[in-house]
Amino acid sequence: MKKEAATLVLLLIIGICSAAKGSERRNLISVTFSVDGKTVGCNERKLRLRLHGELIEPEALSGGFVVPATFNKKSSDWQSGDSVDVGFTCGEYSLNFQLHPSLVSSGRWEFGVEYPPHWIEYGWTGAIEHGTWLSYLVSECDDCEPGVVTYLSHSDAPPSIPARLREEQPAASGERARDLAYGLAIFGINYGQNRDYLVQLLNACLSRPKSYSEDDICDHKLLDYATNLYWRGDGALLGPLLESADSRRDVIGEIDAFYADLLDRQPLTVLNGMQNVSVDKQRTICRLAGEFELRMDSPKFQRVAKHLHAARTEVAERCMKEVKNANAQ
């Protein structure tokens, strides 16, 4: 009987410990850190949270941090305007973000930094239209979908980053030479030379027969590089990008989105620029803009239609006709 009682007590203790460990796992934020898409280790790792002025330092465990009790609330218990400052240190890196407190819950957080040229993967955010490097936080909670991405652009990249690209450039070729030219252009190193190299590559790729298969040089990144430099303020690229209008998917498959954004964000600039290309090119530009991007995004289509109507020029009228026809298909 005593033996059975002792066994029962032991089982209860094991059960309580297992439940505690399970609870700990359920309230753990798993944290990783990446540089240019590659996970790296941290010699020293620290997470700091500041809520309503109070500094909270979560307990560190292997692979992550325990969710502080302060955040063990339902999402509905927080106000929409509440925010928590998140500070994360990984060795020499120190990143800061703001999140809604409801996102501080068990799940996975990926902190990271992106430098040119690799940061082009975040071109969809618009954050790389400024600065020279990007920091981000991807937070995914265990009981919700999808994850939330927070990102910030910065202008003070470590000098070692452009120095490394510059050192590598003379011996580079092919895809890497293309990527380095873009990265160095972002850092303002021999900007005109590197920008012109990308334009020459784009023209060479577009001169190939459409039957050519996409390769590591003539792929979507080349167009992304050129359009990103344009949005960063290089107006000289508008002409070559408008001349690139063509119905092909191998090199400029995403150029329809660029044209739609031009008509939405810079209608007068693009209409003036279109006066310098052929009527056929004008039609192609507007048809491409309307075929997918403006057809899928009704608010953007309405804004573009309003811009074109207000312009009251021959180019604008021709463009409106093409956009409408493509949008109706």
Quick one: average pLDDT of 142-171? 92
- Residues in a beta bridge with 136: 112, 151
* pLDDT score of 276: 97
| Cα–Cα distance list, 34 to 46, 158, 287 (Å) | 15, 16, 40
- The verdict on residue 171 lying in a domain is no
Looking at every residue in the chain, the average pLDDT score rounds to 89
Per residue in 297-308, pLDDT (tens digit) is: 999 999 999 999
Kindly report the pTM of this predicted structure: 0.87
Per residue in 172-190, pLDDT (tens digit) is: 999 999 999 999 999 999 9
User: Helix H segments across 207-297?
Assistant: 220-231, 238-243, 255-265, 267-274, 279-291, 293-296
- The verdict on residue 31 lying in a domain is yes
Domain extent, residue 46, equals 24-154
Token couple for 45: 């790792």
Per residue in 211-259, pLDDT (tens digit) is: 776 688 998 899 999 999 999 999 999 999 999 999 887 888 889 999 9
* pLDDT score of 248: 82
> Which of 186, 176, 94 shows the shortest CA–CA distance to 131?
186
> Which of 249, 245, 228 shows the shortest CA–CA distance to 237?
228
- The verdict on residue 91 lying in a domain is yes
**Number of other residues whose CB lies within 10 A of the CB of residue 45:** 16
* pLDDT score of 13: 34
Say if residue 293's pLDDT is above 50.
Answer: yes
* Separation of alpha carbons 282 and 37, rounded Å: 39
- The verdict on residue 46 lying in a domain is yes
Cβ contacts of 164 within 8 Å, gap of 6 or more: none
> Counting Cβ atoms within 10 Å, is residue 123 exposed (0-12), middle (13-18) or buried (19+)?
middle
Q: How confident is the model at residue 18 (pLDDT cuts 50, 70, 90)?
A: very low
- The verdict on residue 45 lying in a domain is yes
Say if residue 11's pLDDT is above 50.
Answer: no
How many domains are there within the chain?
1
Cβ contacts of 40 within 8 Å, gap of 6 or more: 33, 34, 90
Token couple for 294: 């403006």
- The verdict on residue 240 lying in a domain is no
Cβ contacts of 230 within 8 Å, gap of 6 or more: 237, 238, 241
Token couple for 96: 């800061």
- The verdict on residue 14 lying in a domain is no
Contact between 128 and 153 (Cβ < 8 Å): yes
- The verdict on residue 86 lying in a domain is yes
